[in-house]
Amino acid sequence: MLTGYETVANQAEGQALIFGDLHGQRENFTAMLMQLIRAHKKGGGYLWPFNLVFLGDFVDRGPDSLNLLYLIYTLKMLYWDRVFVIRGNHESKAINKTYGFKAECMEKLGIEDGEDIYNKHNQVFEKLAAVIKIDDKIIAMHGGIPSVPLNFNALLKEQQFGFEIYHRKRHMTIFSAVDYRNAGNAGAALMYIPNGKGGFRLIVFQFDPVKPLSSMPDDRTVAGSCMAVGAAMFGSAIFLSFANGENSTGLIQQESNEYAQKAVIVSRVVNGFSTSESMNPGPFDEKQLIKELFPYGDNAEDLDATGDVNAVVNMMGSECIGDNGCAVHKQMLDQIEKVAQSNDDPKLFKMITPGLDVLNGTGINDIQAALTKIKKDDFASIVPNAITAALNNDGKGIQIKIVSDVGMAVERLKHSEEYITDLQAYSSLLKVKDQFEAYAKMLQLISSLIPIQQFKMDLDAAQAKYQKLMSVATPEFIKNLESKLAKLADMDPESNQKKVVTAGFYNGFDDLKNVLKDNENDWLKEALNPGKDLDKLKLKLKPLEGLVQKLEPLNKVWKEVNFDSAQKSIYDMQLFVSNLDAFSGVFTTLSSVQTCFENVKTGQKFEMDLNDWIKVFESASSQLSPVKSSIDAFTTEETAKQLVELYKVADAHRADMDMLKKKLKEMQGLEPMIENLKKLHAQLESAVIGKLNDPFNVIKDIDSKVIKPFISWSGKLDFSKLSTCLKSQNFKDELEKMNPKLEALDSKKPSQQQMDPVKKLNDDLKKLGMEVAKITVSTPKRARHRRANKEFFIKNHKMAAQQVGEVHAVVQKLIKVKAMKSDVQELINGKAQIDAVIQNESDPNVKGKLNKLWNDNTVEALKGILNVAEDLDEAIKKREIKIINDLALTFTVAANVTVSKVDIKKLAIILDGKVQDPKISASLNNLKSLDLKFSKHNGANIGNVIHGVQLYFDSMFDVKRCVSKKKFKGFS
């Protein structure tokens, strides 16, 4: 099918519908195509027929690449001369074997057939052209085919809105895959419509990713000559039009196309004439002309901010590590508050003394021996058991056993005084528990204070971290970086309103160049010298030929300078840099915190686990406490007397159990004493003296390892004063306020991909500067007296050129505003939504910028601009522009435009991704190419200037008109 098919470039003629990347979205493509084919014009007639142009990337990353290819192949075979298919980077084995196409072939057709079909499709791809030209007006291609030696600067940017206009409106991208890889993007298609007069219109159709593309409304009327498409069917339609010979005119309404072209011609002819007059005999400021035609080309200052930003980013990479990044650690903030809120009584510190005589000569063996002796005697078990048996004796049991038990009890009771003494001695040994408790409290206090040392070490590390960051991001460094970025951000050649010698060259160098051919323009011939040539004009403009030739190399370099592509990155870098002062802010605050910790030493380390030691002492104390309590409860003077009396009773009646029982019952306080003995026995049995080894072992080292080092460390430290110092400064709140800026630095850290366009812009400006330096600039000469000639000399031609040029720029901008009225109105109507977005903005820097860019004054300015744009449109419709004088009315209307500082481009950049309403978001994107800044103009005078220009040219060509012969201000 494709034998002999041209593989480098194709040529299409006439109206064309252009699709970008489709990536296997057969259903979406079918729905889009059917909607456009079935759309019809108001009053009858369809948009169809038109050429179909496909710009590649049909396969990969989509659900149905195979059937999409078959559909496109079928269209090509059915409409061979009207369907044009070129190749994308995914139409290559090196790409599509990896990103889904090969896998789809295998899955749907089996391994063997799939491999065969896959290879055959790639054979077809190799036959496809790389470029298509449409009516010699548009060159279209797909980025990413390095094997084809084409010298075109074509860039592809997958855009949220499906299209992007950039590089001073010379380039445009189209991306047709809807919701590509779940990105939520709109898809777009581009309609090219020639106007039959050498110009053309472009309509961008957007397809909403939210609404199902398959749903097609009954009403598909394309209304009016502007071809406005119903919003119910498409997300929006954007209109572009290009006049014959103008390759950078921009967005123009179709109704105003011819008017705009004529206005451009008049403006540049007047400016060209003024420039020529200034060159001969002089003075002429050629340097000023170069500065205005190629703004920033003479900028000797190096504005490369990427190196400086990279230095900060690299330092952040080494210092801002961990979960907290550059932010102050929450643990540190909490510790500041904890120390500040400390209520420790300074008197408690007196507890912390070395050399506590915990043992008092007592050892673990002494306690063990005393307990063993007491338990061996078994007094606390035999006595209560025998007395209880005697009291419960009913005469029926084995009396011999009771008598025996009582006898054993009597033997113990005989030595009760000695037993009491042993218990009291053992209780005295158990007083060690009090010392254990003292050590536990002392260690608890030390444990609560030692983290202050760790905090001091963390504080030192944090201060060193922010000092390193601040050493790069010094105040002077930040100021210089902000200055560079501000200058780059303000670089907008389309918004340069300070033109003095080139105000009439609306399209810059192209107008300077094209004015040399305006003598051949049919309309201008009829307007200036009906039915005759414009040789006198050509002669007048001839001095410009040398100037054009001199500046042509400079213009080639200038066309490579892309301001628009770097603007978003510049803004992101500005936002990043605006937060860099947080480093010095944190460092300063931490330095103030350091003053509170000046006596806190970090040389002495406390590496032991004090909490474990505290548990050891608390456990030992809790074990000994009930034993000692039971002993102390039993070893009273009253108990000693009772034991003596019990001995006498038991000894006297141990052979007569009935009498013993009677006497025992008569004894006072016997039962409580017996209960105390039982409790004592239980405690003595449960005592595990071996566990006391742990606290005794800790005690051996505690003075040398804890107490003395702590006293040495604390030195002159006044913990109460430290707490008061922290409370008085409110450091935690200060640091918390800076954390959002530090977190923003982490989250908004520019990537290399973001910085590359900025570096390229700076490199291109340097290259431009070098080209400017190569040019030998003619310095202004002192004007020589020349006799005035009414026919060939405008007295104030510079003023005329500047005034006509400035108002003409307003005219062109207002025509664009009218063409995009729906988008401007969308912003005005969406004020509440945009206000809400700004109100909810968390970054104070961003919020401040937005409040300056968008406020009540902005909306009123937009309304005023739109009103004047409507008035201008009506004025254009009222009068056909046959001669220069016919421009007076429209120029007067335009000169009364509302003074405005609206920067819609910056607003769109900052709000990118923040506005959820798809219509407002789309309108912001559409409008960001508009310059809506307007200065004040003299509306009352511009008509006189236009009339003066008409009179001058009438004089030049000896044309008699019904125009007032009065002298107009600025002309003779």
Residue 123: CATH number of its domain: 3.60.21.10
| pLDDT at residue 528, as a whole number | 93
Q: Quick check: 553 and 290 in contact, CB under 8 A?
A: no
pTM across the whole model: 0.60
CA distances from 401 to 376, 385, 665 (A): 21, 12, 20
Closest residue by Cα to residue 255 from 229, 231, 224: 224
**Domain ends where: 207, 222, 243?**
207
DSSP 259-324: HHHHHHHHHHHHHHHHHHHHHTTS---HHHHHHHHSTTTT--S----HHHHHHHHHHHHHHS-STT
**Residue linked to tokens 């053992």:** 426
| pLDDT at residue 299, as a whole number | 65
Residues 721 and 403: their CA atoms lie apart, in Å, by 75
Closest residue by Cα to residue 557 from 826, 247, 771, 804: 771
Tokens of 28: 């979406």
**Domain ends where: 207, 231, 261?**
207
The domain containing residue 103 runs over which residues?
9-207
Residues 217 and 208: their CA atoms lie apart, in Å, by 14
Query: For the purposes of burial, counting CB atoms within 10 Å of the CB of 446, is it exposed (0-12), middle (13-18) or buried (19 or more)?
Result: buried
| pLDDT at residue 220, as a whole number | 36
- Residue 286 within a domain: no
Residues 152 and 72: their CA atoms lie apart, in Å, by 26
Tokens of 509: 């160098």
**Domain ends where: 142, 174, 207?**
207
Residues 829 and 835: their CA atoms lie apart, in Å, by 11
Q: Quick check: 59 and 19 in contact, CB under 8 A?
A: no
DSSP 435-460: HHHHHHHHHHHHHHHHHHHHHHHHHH
DSSP 709-758: HHHHHHTT--HHHHHHHHHHHTHHHHHHHHHHHHHHHHHTPPPHHHHHHH
**Residue linked to tokens 């030493």:** 601
Tokens of 301: 């200052």
- Residue 122 within a domain: yes
Residues 695 and 430: their CA atoms lie apart, in Å, by 13
What order do you get walking across the sheet with 9-12 strand by strand?
9-12, 131-134, 138-141
Phi, psi of 171 (to 5 degrees): -120, 155
Residue type, 404: S
Residues 695 and 436: their CA atoms lie apart, in Å, by 8
| pLDDT at residue 451, as a whole number | 76
| pLDDT at residue 608, as a whole number | 64
pLDDT along the chain (972 residues), means of 10: 54 87 91 71 56 92 92 89 89 89 92 92 90 85 53 36 52 82 78 79 72 41 29 33 37 58 94 87 79 76 86 91 85 80 58 53 71 84 89 75 87 89 84 78 76 82 90 92 88 71 91 93 92 90 92 90 86 90 91 85 70 81 85 88 90 88 89 89 78 75 76 73 80 86 87 90 88 77 45 63 92 92 93 94 88 94 94 90 93 92 90 90 87 86 91 90 49 37
Other Cβ atoms less than 10 A from the Cβ of 332: the count is 18
Using left for φ > 0, alpha for ψ between -120 and 50, and beta otherwise, residue 5 falls in beta
Query: Chain centroid to CA 383: how far?
Result: 86
| pLDDT at residue 634, as a whole number | 87
Cα within 13 Å of Cα(957), Cβ side: 26
- Residue 819 within a domain: yes
Residues in Cβ contact with 422 at an 8 Å cutoff, skipping those fewer than 6 apart: 370, 373, 374, 377
Closest residue by Cα to residue 10 from 80, 85, 100: 85
Tokens of 685: 């049995």
How many residues make up the chain in this entry? 972
- Residue 436 within a domain: no
Residue type, 292: E
Domains identified in the chain, total number: 2
Name the H helices within 543-580.
544-558, 564-577
- Residue 362 within a domain: no
- Residue 579 within a domain: no
Other Cβ atoms less than 10 A from the Cβ of 585: the count is 18
Cα within 13 Å of Cα(5), Cβ side: 21
Residues in Cβ contact with 130 at an 8 Å cutoff, skipping those fewer than 6 apart: 7, 8, 9, 86, 87, 141, 142, 145, 148, 150
- Residue 953 within a domain: yes
- Residue 58 within a domain: yes
